[in-house]
Structure 1
Amino acid sequence: MRVEKPIRLYVTFYTFSEAMATEAACKRENLSGKLVSVPRKLSAGCGVAWECEPCLRPEIESLLEKEDIEFEEMAELST
């Protein structure tokens, strides 16, 4: 029997400071998630990604735009 792996949303960044700014903004807005190493399937300039539930994508996109935080890519991957 094959077990389905959960899908997670990963946001990658060009710089570490953008990743840190995302973490701070998400904490202020009570959006759950965490900074993680970028999964091998993705690439990122700084090697760090924000990982969270895919259902938070609209809120994350809106927050990044509001905070003027530049990101490289958003991708949903199984962990």
Structure 2
Amino acid sequence: MRKKETRLVFTYKNTVDAMMMEKLCQEAGAPGRLIPVPSVVSAGCGLCWAAEPSDREELTELMREHELEPEGVYEVFF
């Protein structure tokens, strides 16, 4: 069983934006991974980018540089 921990979750309005985040992070070597949206969060496309809360600044800057706007940003324990 996986240990529960607090994760930083970026949600997106559509799957295209979520997949773009995955591509940007892979190319930049940025932390995190694409996962289904946790049940405690509501999002348009059902996918989100999850990472450690300490990665917030790095990921936010990456999205800003590429004009990718998240639908929401959450810290979730799961």
Shared fold, TM over 0.5: yes
Runs of 4 or more, structure 1, over 3 Å off, are none
Residue identity in the other structure for 1:19 = A
Q: Distance in 1 between matches of 2:65 and 2:40?
A: 28
How far apart are residue 71 of structure 1 and its match? 1.0
TM-score normalised by the chain length of structure 2 = 0.91
- Pair 1:33 & 2:32 matched: yes
Give the TM-score normalised by structure 1: 0.90
Whichever of the two has the greater Rg, that structure is: 1
DSSP 3-state at the match of 1:41: coil
Please give the per-residue CA displacement for 1:37-75, whole angstroms capped at 9, x wherever unaligned: 101111111010001111110011111111111210010
Which 5+ residue runs of structure 1 have no aligned equivalent? Answer: none
Counterpart for residue 5 of structure 1: 4
**Residue 63 in structure 1 maps to residue 29 in structure 2:** no
CA deviations on 1:22-46 (whole Å, 9 max, x unpaired) are 0011111111211111011111110
Where in structure 2 are there 5+ consecutive unaligned residues?
none
